[in-house]
Amino acid sequence: MNLTLFEYILAMAGSFIAGAINTLAGNGSVITLSILTDLIGLPGNMANGTNRVGVLLQAAGSSTGFAKNKMIDLGKSRDIIILTIIGAIAGVYTATIVSNEQFLSVFKYLMIIMLLIILVKPERWLIPSGIKNNLSYWISIPSFLAMGFYGGFIQMGMGVFFLAVLVLISKYSIMEANAIKTIVIFIYTVLVLAIFAYQGLVNWEVGIIMAIGQTLGGYLTAAYASKWPDINLWAYRLLIIIIIFAILIQFEILKF
């Protein structure tokens, strides 16, 4: 696939921004999937698979940045990782045999619901670090299996929903939740990308180009932004802005 210089630059810039957004909030795949489908012209399932190259390397970059600040504890995240991976395997298998266009028609309404959840009692999203809630297995098992399935199936918006579960139910701070989110996404995306690649649904040239931008955006944001004062508050504000933009784009109120 031959891209023009302008398309290369736009893809790199968009993926860099997506990497930064994914690290602090989520839903950066709205940008990358739009680039892959609207700018580059990949079909839906191919775009879905190709997008995972950038997701994988960006999650690796973000995880490295968070680890640098000692914000990742694999021992405490073990159950979350295992459950999410199991769900992701089922989700990606479904994605290889079912078109995701019908899901996208429902996605915009899910974003509206999520926006309402975020705006009601915002103090729930500003929990200080160090406060945890031991979840009942009746809640944790279906919650993280569902998050894994969702991420394996489409990825777009997964970060937002995953943050909601970790912050509102598990009582992590936003930045702690983001650190867990990045390592979980990295691990399950290794499997998800392998399945998409086996099915021939990955354009490696485009995927690697965008992965470079996403990785830089993710690493720099995790390494430096996570140390800013009041970063939880700024991450919360960014989350609101990203969801509003996603809604406007999905309902075609805002067009590019």
Q: At what angle do helices 137-153 and 78-97 cross, to 10 degrees?
A: 40
C-alpha distances out from residue 182 to 67, 176, 179, 201, 215, Å: 11, 10, 5, 23, 12
Asked if 67 contacts 197 with a C-beta cutoff of 8 angstroms, the reply is no
pLDDT in tens, 3-17: 788 888 888 888 998
| 3 belongs to a structural domain | no
> Both tokens of residue 131?
């406060």
Judge whether 142 lies within some domain.
yes
| Total domain count, the chain | 1
pLDDT greater than 60 at residue 131: no
pLDDT, average across residues 93-99: 77
Q: Kindly state the percentage of the chain with pLDDT values over 70.
A: 88
- Tell which residue, 228, 242, 212, 198, has the closest CA to residue 54: 212
- Does residue 226 surpass a pLDDT of 80? no
pLDDT of residue 104: 62
Q: Which residue has the higher pLDDT, 131 or 77?
A: 77
C-alpha to C-alpha distance for 65 and 104, rounded to whole angstroms:
32
Question: Is residue 123 in some structural domain?
Answer: yes
Residue 2 resides in a domain: no
Q: pLDDT digit string (tens) for 186-212?
A: 988 898 899 889 989 999 999 999 999
Mean pLDDT of 153-171: 82
169 vs 232: which has the higher pLDDT: 169
Model pLDDT, residue 79: 86
| pLDDT for the residue 129 | 57
Q: Domain of residue 15: give its range.
A: 8-250
Q: Give me the pLDDT at residue 98, please.
A: 72
**130 pLDDT tier (thresholds 50, 70, 90):** low
Token pair in block for residue 74: 């694999």
156-166 mean pLDDT: 83
Q: Report the pLDDT value the prediction gives residue 193, as an integer from 0 to 100.
A: 93
How far is the C-alpha of 114 from the C-alpha of 103, rounded, in Å? 16
Residue 1: inside a domain: no
